[in-house]
């Protein structure tokens, strides 16, 4: 997909990776709807701030009506509550699934007809190395991202006949607010991750592995689970 003159909607575009994706899309010549629950927090030049809460279906439908010229959807918005599945707060587990799985599903369902009507395009789902690696302390987040990985693969097959490619971005810790407590040497630059993601969209890659940790974990998927 050629990003020059594309029309992109990026969820969670007010900070972190989403902000870098929106900024770099503008630099590549795209029109960008920078979506956030509070659009007044979007401070990027050259974008169209847009209210969108992925857990609020009416706001998603309203955004799809406004961004009716979209050809690229970037499902970036997400949360991490740091909850284990069994001993953690069950409402937090549900919130992560609602945000990280049902959120991109609802947004994709709303924007797939828009993209199709505009001649086709692409969807990028921001996933995680924890789609494949499931530590107990982050069980809630890992379970939601694993489900989002399955969603991405199924959506790719379903949307291909409609002229829409679907790419998955998998990445470990980035230097963003979500990973603030992680030592700096373990984190990668979100600007570099954004560049890799956009290059992958242009090449039509179904999967983009943004760092060495993620590539190593992916290579180990065929091995037997490690005993606890």
Q: What is the pLDDT of residues 122-142, one digit of tens each?
A: 999 999 999 999 999 999 999
Q: What is the pLDDT of residues 140-187, one digit of tens each?
A: 999 999 999 999 999 999 999 999 999 999 999 888 666 556 555 677
Beta bridge partners of 203: none
Q: What is the pLDDT of residues 30-59, one digit of tens each?
A: 999 999 999 999 999 999 999 999 999 999
CB 161 within 8 A of CB 187: no
Contacts of 124 by beta carbon, 8 Å cutoff, 6+ apart: 72, 73, 74, 75, 76, 166, 167, 168, 169, 197, 200, 201
Quote the pLDDT of residue 114. Answer: 98
Catalytic residues: 141, 145
Among 121, 16, 7, 15, CA closest to 63: 7
How large is the average pLDDT for residues 11-40? 97
3-state secondary structure the chain: CCCCCCEEEECCCCCHHHHHHHHHHHHCCCEEEEEECCHHHCCCCCCEEEECCCCCHHHHHHHHHHCCCCCEEEECCCCCCCCCCCCCCHHHHHHHHHHHHHHHHHHHHHHHHHHHHCCCEEEEEECCHHHCCCCHHHHHHHHHHHHHHHHHHHHHHHHHHHCEEEEEEECCCECCHHHCCCCHHHCECHHHHHHHHHHHHHHCCCEEECCHHHHHHHHHHHCCCCCC
Among 2, 3, 42, 51, CA closest to 26: 3
Domains (ranges, CATH) in the chain? Answer: 7-222 (3.40.50.720)
**How many Cβ atoms are within 10 Å of 170's Cβ, its own excluded?**
25
Backbone phi, psi, residue 38, to 5°: -120, 90
Q: What is the pLDDT of residues 93-127, one digit of tens each?
A: 999 999 999 999 999 999 999 999 999 999 999 99
């Amino acid at each position: 997909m050629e990003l020059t003159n594309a029309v992109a909607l990026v969820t969670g575009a007010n900070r972190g990776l989403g902000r870098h994706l929106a900024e770099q899309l503008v630099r590549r010549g795209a029109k960008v709807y920078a979506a956030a629950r509070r659009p007044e927090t979007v401070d990027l030049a050259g974008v169209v701030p847009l209210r969108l809460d992925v857990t609020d279906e009416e706001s998603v439908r309203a955004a799809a009506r406004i961004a009716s010229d979209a050809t690229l959807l970037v499902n970036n918005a997400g949360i991490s509550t740091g909850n284990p599945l069994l001993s953690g707060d069950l409402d937090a587990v549900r919130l992560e699934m609602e945000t990280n799985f049902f959120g991109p599903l609802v947004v994709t369902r709303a924007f797939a007809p828009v993209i199709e009507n505009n001649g086709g395009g692409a969807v990028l789902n921001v996933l995680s190395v924890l789609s494949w690696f499931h530590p107990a302390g982050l069980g809630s987040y890992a379970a939601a991202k694993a489900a989002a990985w399955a969603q991405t693969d199924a959506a790719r097959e379903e949307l291909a006949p409609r002229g829409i490619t679907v790419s998955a971005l998998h990445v470990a810790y980035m230097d963003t607010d979500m990973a603030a407590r992680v030592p700096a040497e373990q984190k990668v630059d979100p600007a570099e991750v954004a560049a890799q993601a956009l290059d992958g969209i242009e090449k039509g890659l179904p999967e983009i592995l943004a760092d060495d940790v993620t590539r190593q974990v992916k290579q180990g998927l065929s091995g037997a689970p490690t005993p606890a």
